[in-house]
Structure formats: structure tokens, C-alpha cells
Amino acid sequence: MSTMSYAQAACLALQEVMRADANVVALGEDLGRGGVFGQYRGLPQEFGPERIIDTPISEANIMGAAVGMALAGLRPVVEMRVIDFALCAMDEIINQAAKNRYMFGGQGRVPLVARMPIGIWSASAAQHSQSLEAWFAHMPGLVVVTPATPQDNYGLLKSSLASGDPVIYMEHKELWGVEGEVTAGVEVPLGKANVLCEGSDLTIVTWSRGVGVALEALSTKAFKGIRPEIIDLRTLWPWDRDAVFKSVAKTGRLLVVHEAVQVAGFGAEVAASAAEATGCKVRRLGSPRIPVGYAQVLENEARLSPAKIVAAAEALLKQ
């Protein structure tokens, strides 16, 4: 077990897989200098430009090339820098990568991992601060992963690289420097949630940066006397319905928390499914349907905070 950052944990996972499998390559912008967040640091020097491929600024070209590589037998890791830029490659992701296995009766597989950092990036405004996980969870053929901790960023990336299907891998832009204990060699299975703490009053389901904010809320005085069960989904598709349903059957209340816009967010899927299955009371907490502002006071309107989670939990307990 070692202490390392969220970025270092992912870098270690990729390094180990690339050493074990010569078919794994990485391509994208800024990889030659170790990635924008240092998530490829040291890999260009070890594996060279034929396996750590520094590309021009053309997301459609990057993703299209990766789909072709995958169909030809390679296992590409595609770096989109931030999810906002992946919008330039939606045709290649949705109409090619996601649908190939189905449309050709399993004759073709697209085993790529597309790294698309999500979430608010301080003082980066509307075009660099989006959380678009619901877009990709909506699309058949895609696996959607949202690691919240260094250990999960290590273990989930290894599992994603072994998946055999196209994986939309969403690391949060403001978690790169977060440090934690990482045990090498431990893979985290896709589709398996993590129950962070057990409780009986309500269930809080979240993912990505929402996990840390929910745990911070739990430690505040405002939560004194309230015993929530907090679940980190870790994977949005497939998501761990059994773990969520088991928890809400016990607590009778579900609060889904995410940084993405609340309107049509993935939290709506979790809330509706849980209510249909168990009859629990539900409440959602997400961002208002506004672009993320550059000014701090406007950015804060879109951010999750412990105070917002406490307020939403208290409102749910009064229902």
C-alpha cells in the first residue's frame, strides 16, 4: 500500500497494463508532456511515441483513429483532455464505437477507454466545467465509469482496460491532486457500488466528486443525530441496482447527489428506479440548469457543498 494522488494512481494502472500488453496504446493531446494533469507522467519516456501518441488538436480525428485501432486489434486509451472537448467527437463515439458490436453481430469489438475528465474546474467557466455523464449513460453500448478516489481510479481503470467494450472513463478535473492509500494489483469490478458508511435514516447515493462532499457533510455538526447510509456508485452503467435497492428498502428514503445539472441528470434514473422498486421517498440534489459562471459567486451556484447536502437531507426527512 502506498500513498499517491488520484493522477498518479491512474498513471500506475496504465503503466502496469502497458507493460503487460503491447496492444495497449494511448493517444491524445498533450500526452507527450505527460498529460494536462500529469496523468501520463513518465509514460512517454518509457514507452516512446509509438505507444504514447501525441496528436494534433482534432478530437474527431483522435476518436476516429482510436475506433479503427480497436477494430484492428489494439486496445487504445483515448485522452480527450476534458469532457467538454469530447463533444467534437460525438459521432465517432455514439455512432461508431457504441454501436459496432451490435450492428455487426459481435464480429467487431471496440475495446477502447475514453478518458473524459468531468466536473467544475475552478475559474474555467461554462465551456470547461461540464458534467455530462447522463449523455453517455443514455447510450446503449457504452460503459460509464466515475472514480472518486485514488484507489478506485487505479482499480477501475484496470477493469476498464480489460472490459472489451468502449468505456467512457470520467475522472473529475478537481480530484487529480487528491491523495489516498492505493494497493497495487487490486481491480475494482465494474458495476459494483461501494457502501461508504451504514445508516438507517436515509440513503445518499452519489459518485465522483460528490463522494467527498457527502462525507464532508456527514462530519458537520448539522448532520448530528442523522444517520445516513452513503453509497458511491462508482459505475453509472452498469449501476449497482441491488446495493441501492437493498439500502433504500431499509431506510425508506433516497437522496441522489451529483454535480451535473439536475434536470435529466442520471440521478433521475436512480431515483425513479428505486421508487418503482421499493416505494421509497426520493429527492435529488444537482446543479441548476445554468452554465457554470466564471465569477466565484456564480460558480458556487453550480457547485455541490456540504450545506446543500445537509439541507436536502433535512427536507427529505420531513417528507
Q: What is the pLDDT of residues 159-180, one digit of tens each?
A: 999 999 999 999 999 999 999 9
**Exposed / middle / buried, residue 173 (Cβ in 10 Å: 0-12, 13-18, 19+):** buried
Q: What pLDDT, on a 0 to 100 scale, did the predictor assign at position 225?
A: 83
Could you say which architecture CATH assigns to the domain 2-182? 3-Layer(aba) Sandwich (3.40)
Low-confidence ranges of the chain (pLDDT < 70): none
Q: What pLDDT, on a 0 to 100 scale, did the predictor assign at position 5?
A: 98
- Residue 177 CA to residue 172 CA, distance in Å, equals 10
- Residue 113 CA to residue 166 CA, distance in Å, equals 6
Active site amino acids: 128
Q: Would the CATH topology of 2-182 be identical to that of 194-317?
A: yes
The C-alpha cell 500488453 sits at 21
Domain boundaries, the chain: 2-182, 194-317
For residue 165, CA distances in Å to 102, 133, 174, 194, 248 come to: 11, 17, 27, 23, 31
- Residue 113 CA to residue 282 CA, distance in Å, equals 33
In this prediction the pTM is 0.96
Q: Which residues pair with 172 in a beta bridge?
A: 118
Determine which helix (DSSP H) or strand (DSSP E) holds 111, and give its type and residue range.
none
Question: For 194-317, CATH number?
Answer: 3.40.50.920
